[in-house]
Structure 1
Amino acid sequence: MSETERDPDGRIKLEQRGALLLIGIDRPEKRNGFTPKMFAELAAAYTRLEEDPELRVGVLHAEGDHFTAGLDMPKCAPLRKEGRPYIPLTEVDPFDLREPMRSKPVVMALKGISFTVAVELMLAADIAIAAEDCRFSQLEVKRGIMAGCGATFRFVERAGWGNAMKLLLTGDEFNAAEALRLNFVQEVVPVGQELDRALEIAGRIAEQAPLAVQATRDNARTAVNYGWQAAYGRIASTQRRLFNTEDAKEGVQSFIEKRPARFVGR
């Protein structure tokens, strides 16, 4: 399908740059409003990131001036009324809430209007970069529903109860500076620089030993979900596995030879 024959339900655009997979939300003519088709394609993109051994980091971004105005409700509401999920159960969940879980990191670039699903994808990402013009809102209560992809507990986890309730129960907008204060994003950059900065960070992650990156992320996630004792209990066995990899040997050799390491993910 050509650019002049765009699917009215939008699409998820993919581009591989070395070890990075760029995942683009592409329905700018509708402010990137999410449709069931887009959810399915987003899940397929995350599954490709997870399963392709050449890929080490995902970069989630959007076409146009805005990340997304949220759900295209006329198209999405019928699925929820019937209790059907937006994400196919066999695909990796972009919201990182159920099996199959993601092991590889995702860096996200946000801009302009970034409502509902954008916020929940932001909270599910590992690192989020926001343009100064970002407008955020978890506005489900204004539509007679509630956030369903992690915001109800991740807001509390990141920002504390009062800050979370202030935003979740009013649906009020907040800006990039407030998102930074609440630990929802890690950096705020001038408009137009958000994707470049996300790519820069993703590139730095991709330079590191991929098994070590995944193990680090997994241990941190275990602590968040099950407490530090559970995470600590897994360290010894994970370290033993990592110390016996080719990449660990390369890490030592590169240190001895005073050169950048060349990691292969084994």
Structure 2
Amino acid sequence: MTDSVLCRRDGSTLVITMNRPEVRNAVDGSVASGVAAALDELDEDRSLRVGVLTGAAGTFSAGMDLKAFLAGERPEVPGRGLAGLTESQPRKPLIAAVEGHALAGGCELVLACDIVVAAQDASFGIPEVKRGLIAGSGGLLRLPARIPSGIAVEYALTGRTMPAVEAHRWGLVNRLVGSGEALSGALEIAAEIAANGPLAVRTTKQVIRESKSLPTASAWDRQRELLGVVLASADAREGAAAFVEKRQPHWLGE
């Protein structure tokens, strides 16, 4: 991990903070490698259940560091995309906690997360066209899937910024909170998720992700395959036993 990305644990949640406040947490190579390493830790550590991605000093991220780009640097991880996230999401749930701006690549990082908590005065946008670029780290692929297509097209072509209140109305933001409260709101949701069976949570995310790219019949077949693994797991037996015995379950994650 580098100073450009800070990690801390909050129970079974890993909080990943992009830490370049002097450039509004713009993503350069050090941020990309740091976030990628943190996501690897999230997936590999059995004691971790959920990740939260946020930015330091009251802003999420202004996107790709254009000065680094002009110097020939690409803030991507081969095969994994921008910040090691946009083309290869972690198996475990990832929540975006957004304060201030989430623009360009910053917005694309948000779109790669499973759940979004945002301060009421936050804003989102893919303004790449204003710089002669395109939102090529998932913005043009994911935004029309998250909000009405016509609205997504308008924002993509104009490069206009979307206030968090509007983003919440269109369904891009799951939960609106007061200014400065995005991280605490994200941690509340993370705690709810972490209380559930870890194998079931990972598989639920897997089914949702994979089904988007499969024909309906194939999606049902894949779900049956994954469901069989869950039904045969120790966690499934533990969950049923805990319900019958009126106690809290003790998950093994398998």
Which TM-score band applies after superposition, normalised by the shorter structure? Answer: over 0.9
Report the alpha carbon displacement of residue 164 of structure 1 after superposing the two structures with TM.
Answer: 1.2
Cα offset for 1:27?
A: 1.2
Deviations 1:164-212 (A, max 9, x none): 1110011011100111122211111111211111001011111111111
Percent identity between the aligned chains? 35
8 Å contact from structure 1 (residues 156, 164) kept in 2: yes
- CA drift at 1:79: 4.2
Alpha-carbon deviation of 1:53? 1.7
> How many residues align structurally?
252
SS at match of 2:116: strand
Tell me if 1:113 matches 2:101: yes
> What pairs up with 1:144-183 in 2 under 5 angstroms?
144-183=132-171
Equivalent positions of 1:12-31 (< 5 A) are 12-31=5-24
- SS of aligned partner of 1:59: strand
Q: Structure 2 CA distance, aligned partners of 1:53 and 1:79?
A: 38
The alpha carbon displacement at 1:231 in A equals 2.0
The one-letter code matched in structure 2 to 1:132 is: Q
Alignment equivalent of 1:202, drawn from 190, 194, 210: 190
Q: Which moved more, 1:151-160 or 1:136-145?
A: 151-160
Residue 222 of structure 2 is matched in structure 1 by 234
Out of 90, 94, 98, the residue aligned to residue 102 of structure 1 is 90
Offset, 1:225: 1.9
Q: In structure 1, how many angstroms separate the alpha carbons of the residues matched to 2:173 and 2:72?
A: 30
Partner of 1:32: 25
Q: Which residue number corresponds to residue 60 of structure 1? A: 53
When residues 212 and 77 of structure 1 are mapped into structure 2, their CA distance, relative to the original with a 3 A threshold, is farther
Cα offset, 1:219, TM superposition: 0.7
Q: Is contact 2:102–2:110 with CA below 8 Å preserved after alignment? A: no
1:186 maps to 2:179 = no
Cα displacement (A) at 1:109? 0.4
Check whether the contact 1:36–1:76 (CA below 8 A) recurs between aligned residues.
no
Structure 2 unpaired stretches of 5+: none
Match for residue 44 of structure 1 among 17, 37, 52: 37
Kindly provide the CA deviation profile for residues 41-63 of structure 1, in whole angstroms up to 9, marking residues without a partner as x: 11111111112222111011111
Shift in Å, 1:78? 4.3
Structure 1 gaps, min length 5: 1-6
Q: CA deviation at 1:85?
A: 6.4
1:88, CA displacement in angstroms?
A: 3.9
TM-score by length of 2: 0.92
Shift in CA distance, 90/194, structure 1 to aligned 2, threshold 3 Å: closer
Give the alignment's TM-score, normalised by structure 1.
Answer: 0.88
Give how far 1:65 is off. Answer: 1.7
Equivalent residue for 1:4?
none
Q: Identify if the C-alpha distance between structure 1 residues 161 and 235 changes in structure 2 by more than 3 Å, giving closer, same or farther.
A: closer
Equivalent position amino acid for 1:121 in 2: L
Deviations 1:137-180 (CA, angstroms, capped at 9, x unpaired)? 21100011101111111111122331111100110111001111
- CA root-mean-square deviation: 2.0
1:215 correspondence with 2:215: no
Q: Contact 2:25–2:61 at 8 Å: present in 1 too?
A: yes
Query: 1:187 corresponds to which letter in structure 2?
Result: R
CA contact (8 A) 2:64 2:106 kept: no
